[in-house]
């Protein structure tokens, strides 16, 4: 699914004045590498193949319908789920998953290394600045699925994503592909948010 920096770039296109929206757009990733927790925070269900999972932003929208209009954090959270669904549908499943039939571990390592390589490219292209960690926390309990997840840690992790990393060639992803993804997501999310009543 999309990286923190990708989610942040999209959030800054959609609501640059709203820190709560940006933090919400990072919040589902409080789950880190805990797959069961991630399934919870991302509204994922197991597909019929018993191996892959799908994300259901519509389930979140239905559950948090009352908060979606007034609460920018909840709107950002919804945006993240929409963006991750776009990632699975347009990047991971069609381009990455088919390559994982051979040398899976090596290719996954290259895939995640590409995320780190892309961070500063995205930040520089979109003129992003690190997100300030607010002194007082927003009411993150508004989204129950976060549970005990540390939302502020995800914001701090994003700040770390602005740190330079050794230069390397992209292997599994391309910058143009990511830019297309970011622009597609901005439109998809805007369309969904505009449709809220």
Specify the pLDDT at position 141: 65
**Closest-CA residue to 119 (of 78, 55, 77, 173):** 173
pTM: predicted TM-score of the whole model, two decimal places: 0.93
Tell me how crowded residue 109 is: count the other CB atoms within 10 A of its CB. Answer: 13
Sign of CA dihedral 133, 5, 165, 96: positive
**Closest-CA residue to 120 (of 85, 157, 153, 163):** 163
Q: Which residues pair with 2 in a beta bridge?
A: none
Specify the pLDDT at position 60: 96
Exposure on the CB side of residue 188, measured as CA atoms within 13 A: 20
Specify the pLDDT at position 25: 97
Specify the pLDDT at position 136: 58
Backbone angles phi, psi at 77, to 5 degrees: -60, -45
Separation CA 111–CA 173 (nearest Å):
7
Domain that holds residue 164: 4-194
Both tokens assigned to 109: 């390592």
pLDDT digits (tens, 9 = 90+) for 33-43: 677 888 889 99
Full pLDDT tens readout for the chain, 197 residues: 899 999 999 999 999 999 999 999 999 998 666 778 888 899 999 899 888 889 999 999 999 999 999 999 999 999 999 999 999 999 999 999 999 999 999 999 999 999 999 999 999 999 999 998 765 556 666 788 887 678 888 999 999 999 999 999 999 999 999 999 999 999 999 999 999 87
Q: What is the DSSP letter of 2?
A: -
What is the number of domains present in the chain? 1
Separation CA 104–CA 26 (nearest Å):
27
Q: How many residues in the chain?
A: 197
Q: What is the DSSP letter of 161?
A: T
């Amino acid at each position: 699914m999309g990286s923190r920096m990708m989610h942040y770039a999209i959030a800054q296109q959609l609501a640059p004045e709203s820190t709560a929206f940006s933090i919400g757009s990072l919040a589902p990733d409080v789950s880190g590498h805990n797959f069961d927790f991630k399934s919870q925070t991302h509204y994922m269900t197991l597909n019929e193949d018993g191996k892959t999972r799908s994300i259901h932003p519509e389930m979140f929208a239905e559950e948090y319908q009352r908060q979606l209009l007034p609460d920018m954090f909840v709107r950002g959270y919804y945006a993240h789920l929409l963006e991750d669904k776009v990632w699975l549908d347009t990047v991971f499943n069609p381009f990455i998953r088919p390559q994982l039939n051979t040398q899976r571990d090596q290719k996954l390592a290259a895939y995640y290394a590409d995320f780190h390589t892309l961070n500063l490219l995205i930040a520089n292209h979109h003129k992003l600045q690190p997100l300030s960690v607010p002194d007082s926390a927003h009411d993150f309990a508004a989204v129950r699925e976060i549970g005990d997840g540390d939302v502020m840690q995800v914001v701090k992790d994003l700040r770390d994503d602005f740190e330079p990393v050794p230069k390397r060639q992209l292997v599994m992803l391309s910058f143009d592909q990511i830019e297309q993804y970011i622009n597609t997501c901005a439109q998809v999310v805007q369309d969904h948010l505009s449709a809220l009543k």
